[in-house]
Structure 1
Amino acid sequence: MVRKVNFASAVVLAVLFWRCTNHVEVATVDCSLNPTAIAVESTTNPTSCESFDGAITVTGSGGETPYQYSIDGGVTFQSSGAFTGLGGGTFIVTLKDSKGCESQTESTLTIQGSDLAATYEATADSECLSDNGTITINATGSHTPFQYRVGSGSFVSDGTFTGLGEGTYSITVKDAEGCSLAISATVAHGNTGITWSNDIKTIIDANCAVSGCHVSGGQSPNFTNFSNVQKNASLIKSRTGSRSMPPDGRTITQDQINLISCWVTDGALQN
Structure 2
Amino acid sequence: MGRCTNHVEVAAVDCGANPVVLSVESKTNPTSCESFDGAITVTASGGETPYQYSINGGTFQSSGAFSGLGGGTFTITLQDSKGCDTQTEVTLAIQNSDLAATYHSTADSECLSNNGKIMVNATGSHSPFQFKIGSGSFSTDSVFSELGEGIYRITVKDSEGCSLTVNATVAHGNTGISWTGNIKAIIDANCAVSGCHVSGGQSPNFSSFANVQKNASEIKARTASRSMPPDGRSITQEQINLISCWVTDGAVNN
Measured against the shorter chain, the TM-score band is over 0.9
CA distance in 2, matches of 1:49, 1:124: 32
2:5 matches 1:24? no
Equivalence map 1:107-256=2 (5 Å): 107-256=90-239
| Equivalent residues, number | 252
SS at match of 1:202: helix
Runs of 4+ in 1 over 6 A off after TM superposition: none
Give the counterpart letter for 1:215 in structure 2. V
Q: Is the 8 A contact 1:94 1:104 kept in 2?
A: yes
SS at match of 2:66: strand
Where does residue 20 of structure 2 map in the other structure?
36
Deviations 1:78-105 (A, max 9, x none): 1111111111111121111111111222
SS at match of 1:237: helix
SS at match of 2:187: helix
Q: Is the 8 A contact 1:131 1:165 kept in 2?
A: yes
User: What's the offset of the Cα at 1:136?
Assistant: 0.8
SS at match of 1:256: helix
2:77 matches 1:94? yes
Q: Is the 8 A contact 1:125 1:164 kept in 2?
A: yes
Equivalence map 1:69-108=2 (5 Å): 69-72=53-56, 74-108=57-91
User: What's the offset of the Cα at 1:23?
Assistant: 5.3
CA distance in 1, matches of 2:32, 2:177: 49
Where does residue 58 of structure 1 map in the other structure?
42
**Where does structure 1 lack aligned partners over 5 or more consecutive residues?**
1-18
CA distance in 2, matches of 1:127, 1:113: 42
Give the counterpart letter for 1:69 in structure 2. Y
SS at match of 2:185: helix
CA distance in 2, matches of 1:256, 1:173: 38
User: What's the offset of the Cα at 1:143?
Assistant: 0.7
User: What's the offset of the Cα at 1:144?
Assistant: 0.8
Correspondence for 2:241 among 240, 251, 258: 258
CA distance in 2, matches of 1:75, 1:133: 22
User: What's the offset of the Cα at 1:229?
Assistant: 1.0
Give the counterpart letter for 1:224 in structure 2. S
Give the counterpart letter for 2:69 in structure 1. L
CA distance in 2, matches of 1:197, 1:206: 13
CA distance in 2, matches of 1:66, 1:43: 23
SS at match of 1:158: coil
SS at match of 1:193: coil
CA distance in 2, matches of 1:75, 1:159: 24
Deviations 1:158-217 (A, max 9, x none): 111011111111111001111000111111111100000000011111111112211222
Q: Is the 8 A contact 1:145 1:176 kept in 2?
A: yes
SS at match of 1:26: coil
Q: Is the 8 A contact 1:23 1:220 kept in 2?
A: no
Counting aligned pairs with the same residue, the percent is 77
